């Protein structure tokens, strides 16, 4: 299946679950999920034979303070179909919560912990959501665009 065919199929199969689907200039399929359907969409993209996205190769986030949102970005890979897909979902910046996909792809465990630690996004249902790089008692999120150094970060001489 070509990327254009995959985009069209996803638009047809998941029309009520997604906000948009596109093929980027780099020929990559990018879909944006509705937050309420994100977890179900992930399961179906993994389990349906026509997609078979068995591997979550990356999960990260992007902060958009002017739009009051953060976007969780998942890069999926299908070994069976030799295909890549980028899945995005927006969360409210003031209350950034989204279901964990740890039970869909085990690799999400560390990715979600890192995104929690650096952006403050809560992955509901995660088995061990705690800081992974910053101290446990640290209250800020260093990759948010409004982050300010409060003296915690020691600069080399």
Residue 156 DSSP one-character state: P
Q: Tell me, what's the pLDDT at 135?
A: 87
Q: Hey, what CATH topology would domain 3-124 get?
A: Beta Polymerase; domain 2 (3.30.460)
Cα–Cα dist 8/13, whole Å: 9
- pLDDT (tens digit per residue) in 98-149: 999 999 999 999 999 999 999 999 999 999 999 999 888 888 888 888 887 7
Q: Model pTM?
A: 0.90
Cα–Cα dist 34/3, whole Å: 21
Asked whether 73 and 59 are in contact (CB, 8 A), the reply is yes
Residue 144 DSSP one-character state: S
For the chain, the average pLDDT equals 93
Bridge-based pairing state of the strands 69-78 and 55-64: antiparallel
What are the structural domain ranges in the chain?
3-124
Asked whether 78 and 54 are in contact (CB, 8 A), the reply is yes
Task: For the chain, list the strands marked E by DSSP.
Answer: 18-23, 29-33, 55-64, 69-78, 83-92, 97-99, 122-124
What's the CA angle centered on 54, arms 51 and 60, to 5 degrees?
105
């Amino acid at each position: 299946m070509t990327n254009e065919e995959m985009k069209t199929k996803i638009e047809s199969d998941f029309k009520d679950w997604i906000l948009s689907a596109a093929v980027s200039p780099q020929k990559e399929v990018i879909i944006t999920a509705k937050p309420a359907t994100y977890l179900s969409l992930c399961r179906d993209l993994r389990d349906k034979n026509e997609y078979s996205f068995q591997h979550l190769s990356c999960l990260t986030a992007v902060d958009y303070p002017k739009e009051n949102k953060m976007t969780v970005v998942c890069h999926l890979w299908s070994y069976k179909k030799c295909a890549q897909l980028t899945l995005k979902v927006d969360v409210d910046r003031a209350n950034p919560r989204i279901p964990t996909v740890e039970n869909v792809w085990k690799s999400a465990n560390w990715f979600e912990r890192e995104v929690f630690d650096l952006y403050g996004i809560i992955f509901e249902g995660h088995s061990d959501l705690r800081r992974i790089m910053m101290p446990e008692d640290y209250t800020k999120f260093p990759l948010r665009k409004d982050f300010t150094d409060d003296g915690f970060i020691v600069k080399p001489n």
